């Protein structure tokens, strides 16, 4: 049974269509990376998955008991978030707000969940620290713990490593992968780091208004769309597999991405 099934979605941003006729599924345990050029509709799609932006056409069907308010969300960081004057424990606990209902106070179960998530991410020793005094990597761990407090089934991450140094970025990617593998929580991540996406994800959705590719990550690497995009994001002269091109042929010439959809995998569309 799919957690999320998107059927022929068309979504607009500020009156302009940025996603058109998009269909794909997210299953329990999936690690789906959404990649593509700037302005290709990635973050707008995330907002629709969260129920913050209604599609112009098509529908998003949630299955396996998933509710939109139970999706853990780690957005792109803003200056307001970075300087938020609260303790780490308070920030993590706030992930339980949607599950609290009409109760005016956090329950012991809420506090136990927050403590467990801080322990999982190795930040339990920071529980009394002020969030704004933390390093960039520590802040992202805190916000990830907050997102995990909100869900048992699916995480949405919108470019979570923006502004982090390479070492912290690598550690954070490894953390996401471990959370996905150990907990079985589905992960959906918008990323510009195509190499890490192909390495860690189980599935790739490549957007350019519609889906240029949707399927398994290893098949994306071998696809025409994947090979072209991987080549373009490499340093000059470096091939996607890490080898060097012959001298005098370091750049790829030609137009933009292919204007067709390449889908490697077909899954059932019926909910049980």
Domain boundaries, the chain: 78-150
Q: Is the pLDDT score of 82 beyond 50?
A: yes
Q: What is the pLDDT of residue 146?
A: 94
Cα-Cα-Cα-Cα torsion 95, 97, 99, 101, nearest 10 degrees, comes to 180
Taking the C-alpha atoms of residue 156 and residue 132, their distance in angstroms, rounded to an integer, is 23
SS (H, E, C) 12-28: EECCEEEEEEEEEEECC
pLDDT at 100: 67
What are φ and ψ of residue 76, in 5° steps?
-65, 140
Structure tokens at 229: 């995009």
* Distance of alpha carbon 194 from the chain centroid: 13
Q: Reduce the DSSP state of residue 103 to 3 states and report it.
A: coil
Residue 80 has pLDDT above 70, yes or no: no
Is residue 263 over pLDDT 60? Answer: no
Mean pLDDT over 164-185 rounds to 92
| Least confident stretch, 35-49, 130-144, 237-251 | 237-251
Q: What is the pLDDT of residue 99?
A: 74
> How far does CA 226 lie from the centroid of its chain?
18
pTM score of the predicted model? 0.81
**Position 39 confidence tier, pLDDT thresholds 50, 70, 90:** confident
Candidate from 42-46, 128-132, 168-172, 249-253 with smallest mean pLDDT: 249-253
DSSP run (H or E) holding 99: helix 97-100
Q: Tokens representing 133?
A: 């005094």
Residues 131-136 have a mean pLDDT of 91
């Amino acid at each position: 049974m799919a957690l999320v099934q998107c059927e022929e979605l068309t979504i607009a941003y500020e009156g302009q269509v940025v996603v058109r006729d998009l269909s794909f599924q997210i299953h329990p345990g999936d690690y789906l990376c959404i990649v593509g050029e700037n302005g290709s509709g990635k973050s707008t799609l995330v907002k629709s998955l969260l129920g913050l932006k209604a599609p112009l056409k098509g529908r998003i069907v949630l299955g396996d008991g998933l509710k939109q308010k139970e999706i853990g969300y780690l957005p792109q960081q803003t200056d307001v978030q970075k300087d938020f004057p609260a303790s780490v424990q308070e920030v993590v606990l706030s992930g339980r707000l949607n599950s609290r209902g009409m109760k005016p106070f956090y329950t012991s179960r809420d506090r136990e969940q927050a403590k467990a998530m801080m322990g999982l991410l190795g930040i339990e020793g920071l529980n009394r620290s002020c969030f704004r005094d933390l390093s960039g990597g520590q802040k992202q761990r805190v916000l990830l713990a907050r997102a995990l407090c909100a869900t048992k089934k699916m995480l949405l991450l919108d470019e979570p490593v923006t502004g982090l140094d390479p070492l912290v970025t690598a550690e954070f990617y490894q953390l996401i992968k471990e959370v996905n593998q150990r907990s079985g929580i589905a992960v959906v991540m918008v990323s510009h780091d195509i190499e890490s996406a192909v390495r860690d994800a189980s599935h790739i959705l490549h957007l350019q208004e519609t889906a240029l590719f949707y399927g398994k990550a290893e098949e994306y690497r071998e696809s025409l769309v994947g090979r072209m995009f991987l080549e373009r994001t490499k340093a000059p002269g470096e091939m996607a597999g890490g080898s060097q091109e012959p001298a005098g042929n370091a750049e790829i010439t030609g137009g933009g991405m292919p204007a067709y959809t390449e889908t490697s995998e077909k899954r059932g569309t019926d909910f049980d």
